[in-house]
Chains A and B, each alone.
Chain A
Amino acid sequence: MADYRALWEILGMDLEKHDVLCAVLPELYGDVYLSQQNRPEGMNYYNFVISEVHGLRIQELENHKEEGGKVVGTFCVFVPDELILAAGAIGVGLCGGSQFWIEDGEKVLPRNICPLVKAFVGAKVSGTCPYFQSCDMLVGETTCDGKKKAWEILDEYVPTYVMDLPQMKRDKDYLKWAEEIEDLKAKLEALTGNQITEEKLAAAIKLCNRKRAALKRLYDARKALNVPISGKDALLISQIAFYDNPERFIEMTNKLCDELEERIEMSKGTAAQKAPRLLITGTPMAIPNWKLHHIIEESGATVVCEETCTGTRYFENPVDESQTDMAGMIKAMADRYLHINCACFTPNDGRVEDIIRYAREYGADGVVYYNLQFCHTYNIEYKAVEKALKEAGIPVLFIETDYSNDDTGQLKTRIEAFLEMLK
């Protein structure tokens, strides 16, 4: 319970308003997370990270900045972390997962856009997110329209660099994405004053691959018959991966996986053996958006996998490590990243294939399609996913929602009916 107010003051935060945000976290976290039975001991590390989410990690960013380092904020899994790390900067995934920021977001944005966009803009304009306040530069991308236009607003507050992400996957798009990565490299070098050498980039690629491998190991454990970890705990770990110190995160996640693998051997699960297993697919869930997982798991089912950006899209497919020269490494990164299947692309058949493959790999009894309100690309893509799942004989439920708790009761009823049907 250290006093971090002095630190927040340096960051120019609205202390009073920020306190309102801080006030809800212990209770929310207690209700959603600490009430779980049978939690793995290793979850203590993530309890620690969450408890210090606006404390220790922010102090670490500040210490890094005092030594002349830079902090770079990102919003999408297409932006390569490797370059940020290779430039000696720290990357933070800026979450906009709280209803708290919606009101401030709506002051500068139309109301009928995705809550994720409203929340991250609200977090910045209200000066209540210490991660945003710590950033020397933001890196946006041209994915959906909401985000694309939000960069113009954010740029008024903090320098915002935008990567032009292709929306198709032809050969020329791969070439173009490699060029965009090249440009980001130059931008980061200018920001930090550090040259991104081949050695540094190779080391950063290895580090990010190790992080991906740790997450993959976690997800593999969820394929077990007796799932050794709840879906919301796994989601929390994915969310934390976006801003924690990478080395510490890898070490602690691998330790947790040791425990999970022991549990699997002893057939020690977190839920009842017969609990229905669900795969969630769709839009990202940023901290503290635990809403859907919480409702599902309170209803007696287990979430075994997320085909989302706070799930498989973040860690699947490592960057090829065999490249040693700059051009080769940049191409390897472009290939890995452009392989991600996001609904912003057309066509996006790869995602449908991923969902069906994961449903089988993770032994899912059904799929919940999670759509943040006003996210058009994912919403439209539902039709194709639904059709393919039907053909494969996998039941699916479509949920469109935002961050508020207004529809919790209604969602609970719909999910319970879906689970009933899976029996």
Chain B
Amino acid sequence: MEEQDYYVIFPNVNEGLKLEKQLKEKKIKYTIVPTPREISKCCGICIKYLFEDEGAVKQAAAEHGIQVSGFHALHKRKK
């Protein structure tokens, strides 16, 4: 099976930073990355997380009313 990376994208940078704050507090591992072009053509931040944390990430967003524009999985790019 090919490995995948998981991303959450936002309507604007502030929502992304709000989610970052929550993830940090909850000690959920994440990385801020430039939005991959396969997901969206608009540049800006998105947050990459681990698959096993997906539930927790969704919950953190829901709990604090943080707007997200979608969750995406992409095949890991081969180097």
Give the Cβ gap from B41 to chain A, nearest Cβ, in Å: 7
| Cβ A48 vs Cβ B77 within 8 A | no
Tell yes or no: A30 within 8 A of B by CB.
yes
A24 (CB) vs chain B CBs: closest residue: B37
| Cβ B31 vs Cβ A47 within 8 A | yes
A37-60 to B contact mask, C-beta < 8 Å, 1/0:
000000011011011111110000
**Residues of chain A contacted by B37 (CB below 8 angstroms):** 23, 26-27
**Residues of chain B contacted by A19 (CB below 8 angstroms):** 41
Q: Provide the bound-state CA to CA distance between A102 and B13, in Å.
A: 31
| Cβ B43 vs Cβ A50 within 8 A | no
In the complex, which of the residues B34, B39, B77 contacts A51, with contact meaning CB atoms closer than 8 Å? B34
Looking at A1-9, A231-239, A339-347, the stretch in contact with chain B turns out to be A1-9
Tell yes or no: A190 within 8 A of B by CB.
no
Give the Cβ gap from B25 to chain A, nearest Cβ, in Å: 13
In the complex, which of the residues A4, A30, A45 contacts B44, with contact meaning CB atoms closer than 8 Å? A4
Tell yes or no: B9 within 8 A of A by CB.
yes
Within A169-213, the residues touching B (CB, 8 Å) are: none
Tell yes or no: A397 within 8 A of B by CB.
no
**Residues of chain B contacted by A29 (CB below 8 angstroms):** 33-34
**Residues of chain A contacted by B77 (CB below 8 angstroms):** 27, 30
**Residues of chain B contacted by A22 (CB below 8 angstroms):** 41, 43
| Cβ A1 vs Cβ B33 within 8 A | no
Q: Provide the bound-state CA to CA distance between A241 and B41, in Å.
A: 27
In the complex, which of the residues B9, B34, B41 contacts A25, with contact meaning CB atoms closer than 8 Å? B34
Within B10-64, the residues touching A (CB, 8 Å) are: 10-13, 17, 20, 30-37, 39-46
Q: Provide the bound-state CA to CA distance between A48 and B48, in Å.
A: 12
Give the Cβ gap from B59 to chain A, nearest Cβ, in Å: 21
Q: Provide the bound-state CA to CA distance between A50 and B40, in Å.
A: 16
B30 (CB) vs chain A CBs: closest residue: A44
**Residues of chain A contacted by B13 (CB below 8 angstroms):** 2, 52, 55-56
A34-B31 contact given A1-B9, A23-B37, A55-B13, CB 8 Å threshold:
yes
Tell yes or no: B75 within 8 A of A by CB.
no
**Residues of chain B contacted by A26 (CB below 8 angstroms):** 33-37, 43
**Residues of chain B contacted by A27 (CB below 8 angstroms):** 36-37, 77
In the complex, which of the residues A1, A51, A54 contacts B69, with contact meaning CB atoms closer than 8 Å? A1
Tell yes or no: A35 within 8 A of B by CB.
yes
B31, B46, B69 — most chain A CB neighbours (10 Å): B31
In the complex, which of the residues B32, B40, B41 contacts A48, with contact meaning CB atoms closer than 8 Å? B32
**Residues of chain A contacted by B40 (CB below 8 angstroms):** 1
Give the Cβ gap from A290 to chain B, nearest Cβ, in Å: 14
A1-B42 contact given A35-B79, A55-B13, A56-B13, CB 8 Å threshold:
yes
| Cβ B11 vs Cβ A2 within 8 A | yes
| Cβ A1 vs Cβ B32 within 8 A | no
| Cβ B31 vs Cβ A1 within 8 A | no
| Cβ A1 vs Cβ B44 within 8 A | yes
In the complex, which of the residues B17, B20, B33, B35 contacts A34, with contact meaning CB atoms closer than 8 Å? B33
B9, B11, B20, B32 — most chain A CB neighbours (10 Å): B32
Give the Cβ gap from A30 to chain B, nearest Cβ, in Å: 7
Q: Provide the bound-state CA to CA distance between A22 and B17, in Å.
A: 21
| Cβ B46 vs Cβ A1 within 8 A | yes
B17 (CB) vs chain A CBs: closest residue: A48
Give the Cβ gap from B33 to chain A, nearest Cβ, in Å: 6
A51-B79 contact given A1-B42, A4-B43, A19-B41, CB 8 Å threshold:
no
Binding site for B on A (CB under 8 A): 1-5, 19, 22-23, 25-27, 29-31, 34-35, 44-45, 47-48, 50-56
Question: Apart from A35-B79, A53-B43, what 14 extra A-B contacts exist at CB < 8 Å?
Answer: A1-B11, A1-B39, A1-B40, A19-B41, A26-B43, A29-B34, A44-B32, A45-B32, A47-B33, A47-B45, A52-B44, A54-B43, A55-B13, A55-B44
